Amino acid sequence: MAYAKQTVAVGGGELAVGVWGETGPLVVAVHGITSNHLAWTLVGEDLGRDHRFVAVDLRGRGDSRDLPGPYGMARHAEDVAAVIEAFGGGPIVLAGQSMGGWVTVETAHRRPDLVERLVLVDGGAPLPLPDGVPARASEADLRSAVEQTVGTAFARLTMTFPDVESAVSLWRGHPALTEWTPLLQAYAEYDVTPAGDGVATKAVLAAAVRDAQELYALAGTEPRALPVPGVFLRAEFGMLGGLPAMYAPGDATHWLPGVAESTIDDVNHYTVLMGERGAKAVIAAIRGAAAA
């Protein structure tokens, strides 16, 4: 099964993507708010046997970090649409984890001609603001909300490290990643870039803060039905490896009327995609959507 890095022309430059497989139905996948395309490695390695599985580095992340703003779901949706068209067009199965779920939902609303079905992995439905963050949130409030929700993964955006292994060690100590694997090692190493005499994360702070404005159920938000069929895979546990989960049971069906919601037991917000148990469930959901 072949894997290759490629780029796709988008507004302002080239968007980096990882491609598993050379033939078969196209599936495009989108990562979370500070993540990168290697989060989809386990899924890509399986689906790449009989699909073309394309995972993007969103604008402001991974090797797309130098693409200019503006950021936000609408801009990311434009980029994802360009990727779909570059690989032959749709309609296709579009998958998104965490913030990638919002991106895929926005893409489906804007370009339903390109999207046949959605697979949402612990993301895509609005999030309530954490306690203490006002409904009319300022940029500082939103940054606080992201810090509370994302924790270590967000804190690293303001940090520099003397070397790659020092940056990797931050991930090794993450409470949700208790079983370190070659995938997590490769994911963490890909996440860093030279910065002065050391390294820093590739994810751009301004991109994460701007995108965070659209991740929360602010005052006046109403449920919004999906324009295409979709499934929502809820992780039993949350960002820090335990409870609370990112979503309570029923949240997805409330905010996204018509979506088929299910829970994957014994996985958290990270291992739902980057652990064997979670990846198997995501693979099954994507294969089922593609077959449908």
pLDDT digits (tens, 9 = 90+) for 89-116: 999 999 999 999 999 999 999 999 999 9
Q: What is the pLDDT along the chain (292 residues), one digit of tens a residue?
A: 689 999 999 999 999 999 999 999 999 999 999 999 999 999 999 999 999 999 999 999 999 999 999 999 999 999 999 999 999 999 999 999 999 999 999 999 999 999 999 999 999 998 876 677 666 667 677 667 666 666 667 789 999 999 999 999 999 999 999 999 999 999 999 999 999 999 999 999 999 988 987 887 554 578 999 999 999 999 999 999 999 999 999 999 999 999 999 999 999 999 999 999 999 999 999 999 999 8
Structural domain spans, the chain: 3-291
pTM for this model (two decimals) = 0.95
Q: What is the pLDDT of residues 239-248, one digit of tens each?
A: 999 999 999 9
- Separation between Cα atoms, residue 230 and residue 207, nearest integer Å: 27
CATH code of 3-291, in short, is 3.40.50.1820
Q: What is the pLDDT of residues 250-277, one digit of tens each?
A: 999 999 999 999 999 999 999 999 999 9
